[in-house]
Structure 1
Amino acid sequence: MAEFRRAYGAAPWHLALLAGCFAVTGWIALRLAGEASAGRMLLWFVGAAVAHDLVLFPAYASVDRVLRATLGRRGTPSLLNHVRVPALGAGLLFLVYLPGILGLGDGTYRAATGLAPRVMLGRWLAVSGVLFAASALLYAVRRLAGRPR
């Protein structure tokens, strides 16, 4: 076992999990190979990877660096993590619901669902506010609970 770990660089379960991931990815690729829109899906996937690596990662790494310099580690639990987690949730929600938040694709939404598109900006702001408020409340409770009496 130690020789395998030294040669491979990780535990055997890591190799089995990686092989399973490649098998699922291959199965999905085979299912999509016959689709007429497979080329567009591949283009979107590559575009998303490039946009993440060239735009999004530097942006959120810079914001995190500024947060770390501003907030630092003021006690336990870290205030930084109580800002990071709701920001991650709000950012992911923004990316997933981007067309609805920006009011794009209303005609497509109506054609696909038969429903009138609703403005999602207010809802996204409300959910983001609740995420930050819940995180602030949890931080306050943890600070008060950790304070010596």
Structure 2
Amino acid sequence: MSKTTGFRRRYGASPLHLLLVLASFALAAYAGVRLLDGDTLGVALWFVGAALLHDLVLLPLYAVTDRAAQRLFGRREGGVGQAPPRPGVNHVRVPLFVSGLLLLVWWPLVLRQVGHYTAATGLPADRFLGHWLLITAALFVASAAILLARRWHESGPRRRAARGRRRARGATK
């Protein structure tokens, strides 16, 4: 038995995986030290506020939105227990998540809440809302196109069977 195989059996992954995990921990520790170097109390309050905002406001909002999307797309008829949601729900979840993530990262510029941006960069800050809306629309259009292509591909056997039945009926007449 080689050393790598024994390591993989004991650790559960390759040595490269362990090296990458340790490097990511080192990078996170460095970022944490740099972040807490200035205003430790302010950073701690920001983290607590973000956690409370997420848990008390955003998480219930996510859950209600997801339930609404599941009801919109319906559920499969299943046997025992609740049937899993249709895959179409994910074609709403993914673009909504990416759009929300983009808004989270760029919200000051999207909502035009930065006065110093134009002075610091020389670029106008009024384009971000339109660009974010266009990206969001493009994400939903791409997701809808993928959903339609999947549905078309899934219906292929049914279409071929119906075509075969029509040909068989035509041959018997």
User: TM-score scaled by structure 1?
Assistant: 0.74
- For this pair of structures, how many residues does the alignment match? 136
Aligned pair 1:30/2:38, yes or no?
no
Aligned pair 1:85/2:87, yes or no?
no
User: TM-score scaled by structure 2?
Assistant: 0.65
Aligned to 1:116, the other structure's residue is in SS state: coil
Matching of residues 96-115 of structure 1 within 5 Å: 96-105=105-114, 107-115=115-123
Q: 1:33 & 1:93 partners in 2: Cα distance?
A: 26
Q: 1:72 & 1:63 partners in 2: Cα distance?
A: 14
The alignment yields a C-alpha RMSD, in angstroms, of 2.9
Q: Is the 8 A contact 1:103 1:119 kept in 2?
A: no
**Change in CA separation of 1:33 and 1:44 when aligned onto 2, cut-off 3 Å:** closer
Structure index of larger Rg = 2
Q: Structure 1: state its 5+ residue gaps.
A: 1-10
Q: 1:19 & 1:72 partners in 2: Cα distance?
A: 44
- The alpha carbon displacement at 1:20 in A equals 7.0
1:31 is matched by which residue type in structure 2? R
State the structure with bigger RCO (CA 8 A, min sep 6), 1 or 2.
1
What's 1:69 paired with? 71
Q: 2:86 & 2:64 partners in 1: Cα distance?
A: 22
- The alpha carbon displacement at 1:108 in A equals 2.0
Answer with 86-95 or 76-85: which moved more: 76-85
